[in-house]
Amino acid sequence: MTFSITARCARTGQLGVAVATGSTFIGWWTPYVQSGVGAIASQARVNPYVGLWGLRLLALGWDAKSALDRVLQADPERERRQAGMVDAQGRSAGFTGSLASDWKGHFLGDGFVAAGNTLVGPEVVENMAEVMARTADSELDLGERLLRAVEAGFSAGGDRRGHHTAALRVMADEAYPWADLRVDDHPDPVVELRRLANLAEERRATSNYYRFRASDLTPIPELTNPSVLDEQAFRGIELDQSR
């Protein structure tokens, strides 16, 4: 019921997801992004643990394909899911379950995944992928590229049921988001997301809140030591760390 773009910027290392759908409140359960780790979009019949578990595996050093394969292996309803995943090295992986609503499909590109279901047709995903590929070597920030891609998908027809909500989440070099914008229920959510993104960029350029934003220069060892990571992810499901 959604179309999304999940990506990493090779120039800056930023990671992010942009998404739009005919459902409401998509921003709280489709995009999962962690600085220096990866970005994941979980959609169709959303399983939030695809995002949560996926980020944990990426943080443990798994590549995008291995991590996505593993979380889907643990999901008995995987054929109803759709997901895109990009790791911190820009490796991409995608999955479209056979029971997701038509039109459905995904496209893997260099550092990005374009995906969608319940769409008017494949042109939605194709348009998003074209924008990401065309802007790969540009000086555009990742958030702008993601937004342009979603706008291109929307212009191609997007969700065949119409559109109610959209979201953009981008992580840069801190543990908190560089951009985290949500339109939870709006008659023209992609246009509203663009308005909010332009406003956020204006604030970033002129406001002292961004100029003096906190930086993780002196991390607390107890919180940043890799040994703190719980190796037994998936609530007790045994992981094959040899992959």
Q: Does some domain include residue 49?
A: yes
213: helix, strand or coil: coil
The CATH code of the domain that includes 10 is 3.60.20.10
The reported pLDDT for the residue numbered 203 is: 84
Domain that holds residue 83: 2-236
222 assigned to some structural domain: yes
User: What pLDDT does residue 240 have?
Assistant: 45
Overall pTM > 0.85 = yes
Taking the chain (243 residues) in runs of 10, the rounded mean pLDDT of each run is: 94 97 90 97 95 96 97 95 98 97 96 97 97 96 97 93 94 91 95 95 77 65 54 46 40
pLDDT at 225: 57
Considering the domain boundaries, does residue 241 fall inside one? no
Task: State residue 229's pLDDT score.
Answer: 45
Q: Does the residue 242 lie in any domain?
A: no
Question: Contact at 8 Å (CB) between 154 and 165?
Answer: no
How many distinct structural domains can be found in the chain?
1
Across the strands, what pairs with 31? 41
State both tokens at 207: 């406001």
- Whether residue 178 is preceded by a cis peptide bond, meaning omega within 30 degrees of 0, is no
pLDDT at 159: 86
- CA dist 96 and 234 (Å) reads 22
Q: Residue 42: beta bridge partners? A: 83
Q: Among 31, 23, 37, 34, which residue's Cα sits nearest to residue 6?
A: 31
In a domain, 134, yes or no: yes
175 within some domain:
yes
**Is residue 243 domain-resident?**
no
Alpha carbon distance 8, 182 (integer Å): 20
